[in-house]
Amino acid sequence: MYALFALPLLYIVLFKYVPMFGNVIAFKQFTISKGFFGSPWVGFGQFERFFNSYEFWRLLRNTLSISFYMLIAGFPFPILLAVGLHYARSERFKKTVQMVTYAPYFISLVVLVGLLLQFLDPRTGVVNQILGLFGVEPINFMAEASLFQSIYVWSHIWQNVGFSCIIFLAALSGIDPSLHEAAVIDGASKARRIWHIDIPGIMPIAIIMLILNTGSVMETGFEKILLMQNSLNLRTSEVIDTYVYKVGLVSQALNFSYATAIGLFKAVIGFILLVVVNASAKKLGQESLW
Amino acid sequence: MNQRVIKESKGDRLFNIVNAILLTLALIAVAYPLIYVFSASFSSTSAVLSGRVWLWPVEPSLDGYEAIFQNGNVVRGFLNTVMYTALGTLLNVALTIMAAYPLSRRDFRGRAGFMLLFVFTMMFNGGLIPNYLLVKELNMLDTIWAMIVPTALSVWNVIIMRTYFQTTIPYEMLEAAQLDGCNDFRFLTRIVLPLSGPILAVIALFYAVGHWNQYFNAMIYLKNPDLYPLQLILRDILVQNEVSVDMLGDVKTAAARQGLRELLKYSLIVVTSLPLLIVYPFVQKFFVKGVMIGSVKG
């Protein structure tokens, strides 16, 4: 059994823990030629440079606002959909809605962003054509910095609502049916039963999901943002992750240490958030992760 | 107890109607874009460009698909993706079993410690640059290994599979097998795995979707265009709008070229997404179970 376990263990150590320790270069002035051990230490120099840079506040603000926008806007929809499906009268209708709503989950980010660009195109896009019927001038959506975050968040909801609702659907079917029977006999309406039985019933799961999502608040959908970014919406679309990517892997003067320091800063904030949210959930007497 | 004994109140009937309407709206909101793309891909260039496509294909044609299959990059990307998905998923599933099975065994010493070691990586990871430097140090840049090895195992899937083993394979079964002189490896391959069909299917699909849709690793680890997966080529065409003239065959006028360019995008979206959309209904029924099991704490 240990022989079986050796390979996965090796993988975890090599590909998960080695990069974690690789973060040490955030405290160094790393250059490829000098290598990991040969590069000189600079302490918190990289971090100071980042905090003092004019990019800092903009990146932090964009990262946090996209994440919290997503957290708040995305939270109710899977629950609403799950409750709606749970009370759907026709089994076939329910199955159809379910199957269709989670189809987009399987679409790749590249295709999703491609779809967005096609639909929102100022000349040929179907959205502008519909708006045109109401006499609205074509809008160049992707060039409007003020619209970027909304497009990002709502397309994310479109893609994921069906899949995220599975877990709530399962929780709903796990609720003790005798509660509902009793409520029906007492003359409770469906709306009342949802409010007093179903919602409290799925609350623990909802809280856990919220904690998990908060933990990844700093992990904004970096790959998707990168795809959606263009020079016109950069003002609101540049987040810490995309900046790390640019500084570390694409810019003219690659700066591995600086990029690593920024990435580490982000990871630490995310970790602190997770711990804080979990602790407060515990204090409120709700479920917690640990 | 038959609920019909109590007649539905007016409020409840209203509730049903509102609910049905809302669900229908959700259905339309999700389905319409998908139907539109599908129809557009089968329409003529002029119909797409002039916005005459609303729901069904207008002036059906296969021009877009023809342009795709004449394009060497797309075909090569497609084949590369199939290869990465097949090899990668095989490795993923094998490693996941190798990690999940021992972790599911009560008599596996050091289990709690290993579990912690695995789970910790879900909350804290090394970050982009250290990962890149590692792949670079391992000399995997610009090889197919870069597409397969760094994503060889997902801890989340290990937990799902481990929990499945724990809840469906009774410990007594192992004891009985051991009494009969069955070793661990034999027990795993002859008894555990044949009993785990549904979870293997779900896990394999999760991994396969990941590989199929992967573009970011390819973008940072690969420089040789011969190794590009489909998604990366797709990105150039869909997002960065880099459609080279030779892709469009012998189209003469600028207007026709522009039309074919748009049509090609719709056809590409369909070709890329269809394989997964066809597979998933077959595995769908296992999903709820799989997701539920994985989300059980501990």
* Model confidence pLDDT, tens digit, residues A49-78: 888 888 888 888 888 888 888 888 888 899
| Contact state of A114 with B238 under an 8 Å Cβ cutoff | yes
Identify the CA nearest to B206 among candidates B286, B138, B101: B286
Q: How many helices (H) and strands (E) does chain A have?
A: 17, 0
Residue B275 predicted with pLDDT over 60: yes
Q: Give, as one character, the DSSP assignment of residue B190.
A: I
Task: Give the residue with greater pLDDT, A181 vs B254.
Answer: A181
Q: E strands within B170-289?
A: none
The C-alpha atoms of residue A41 and residue A39 are separated, in whole angstroms, by 7
Give the model confidence (pLDDT) of A201-214 as tens digits: 888 888 878 877 77
Which residue's entry shows tokens 């993706």? B81
Which amino acid, residue A237?
Answer: S
What local confidence, expressed as pLDDT, does residue B297 receive?
Answer: 40
In B, which residues are within 8 Å of A80 by CB distance?
Answer: 22
Is the Cα dihedral B280, B281, B283, B285 positive or negative?
A: positive
| ipTM of predicted assembly, 2 dp | 0.82
Burial status of residue B154 (CB atoms within 10 A of its CB: 0-12, 13-18, 19 or more): middle
Identify the CA nearest to B208 among candidates B84, B77, B75: B84
Which of the residue ranges A200-204, B97-101, B109-113, B241-245 would you say has the lowest mean pLDDT? B241-245
Stated length of chain A: 290
Burial status of residue B83 (CB atoms within 10 A of its CB: 0-12, 13-18, 19 or more): middle
**Per-residue CA distances from A28 to A22, A34, A257, A269, B265 (Å):** 11, 11, 6, 21, 46
Give the model confidence (pLDDT) of B53-109 as tens digits: 777 777 777 777 877 787 778 888 899 999 999 999 999 999 999 999 998 888 888
Residue A244 predicted with pLDDT over 60: yes
Q: Which among A143-152, A192-201, B83-92, B113-122 has the top mean pLDDT?
A: B83-92
Residue A1 predicted with pLDDT over 80: no
Reduced DSSP (H G I as helix, E B as strand, rest coil) percent helix, strand, coil of chain B, to 5: 75, 0, 25
The C-alpha atoms of residue B97 and residue A31 are separated, in whole angstroms, by 39
What local confidence, expressed as pLDDT, does residue A213 receive?
Answer: 77
Which of the residue ranges A150-154, A165-169, B204-208, B218-222 would you say has the lowest mean pLDDT? A165-169
Residue B1 predicted with pLDDT over 50: no
Percent with pLDDT over 70 in chain A:
96
Identify the CA nearest to A102 among candidates B86, B287, B17, B43: B287
Q: Are B263 and B64 in contact (CB under 8 A)?
A: yes
Q: Provide the shortest C-alpha distance from residue A106 to chain B (in Å).
A: 7
Instruction: Tell me how far apart the 2 most distant CA atoms of chain B are, in Å.
Output: 79
CB contact, 8 Å: A230 with chain B?
no
What local confidence, expressed as pLDDT, does residue B89 receive?
Answer: 95
Q: Is A39 helix (H, G, I), strand (E, B) or coil?
A: coil
Pick the residue from chain A with its C-alpha nearest to B212: A108
Give the model confidence (pLDDT) of A179-195 as tens digits: 888 888 887 788 888 88
What mean pLDDT value characterizes chain B?
82
What mean pLDDT value characterizes chain A?
83
What local confidence, expressed as pLDDT, does residue B126 receive?
Answer: 78
| Contact state of B128 with A259 under an 8 Å Cβ cutoff | yes
Percent with pLDDT over 90 in chain B:
9
| Contact state of B129 with A271 under an 8 Å Cβ cutoff | no
Bridge partners of A28? A41
Residue A118 predicted with pLDDT over 80: yes
Which amino acid, residue A289?
Answer: L
Percent with pLDDT over 70 in chain B:
87
| Contact state of B102 with A20 under an 8 Å Cβ cutoff | no
In A, which residues are within 8 Å of B51 by CB distance?
Answer: 124, 126, 129
The C-alpha atoms of residue A85 and residue A105 are separated, in whole angstroms, by 18
| Contact state of B152 with A25 under an 8 Å Cβ cutoff | no
Stated length of chain B: 298
The C-alpha atoms of residue A12 and residue A266 are separated, in whole angstroms, by 22
What local confidence, expressed as pLDDT, does residue B88 receive?
Answer: 94
The C-alpha atoms of residue B229 and residue B80 are separated, in whole angstroms, by 5
Give the model confidence (pLDDT) of B5-53 as tens digits: 556 777 788 888 888 888 888 888 888 888 888 888 888 777 777 667 7
Angle at A108 between CA B82 and CA A100, to 5 degrees: 110
What local confidence, expressed as pLDDT, does residue A129 receive?
Answer: 80
What local confidence, expressed as pLDDT, does residue B97 receive?
Answer: 92
Q: Is B245 helix (H, G, I), strand (E, B) or coil?
A: helix
Q: Is A216 helix (H, G, I), strand (E, B) or coil?
A: coil
CB contact, 8 Å: A88 with chain B?
yes
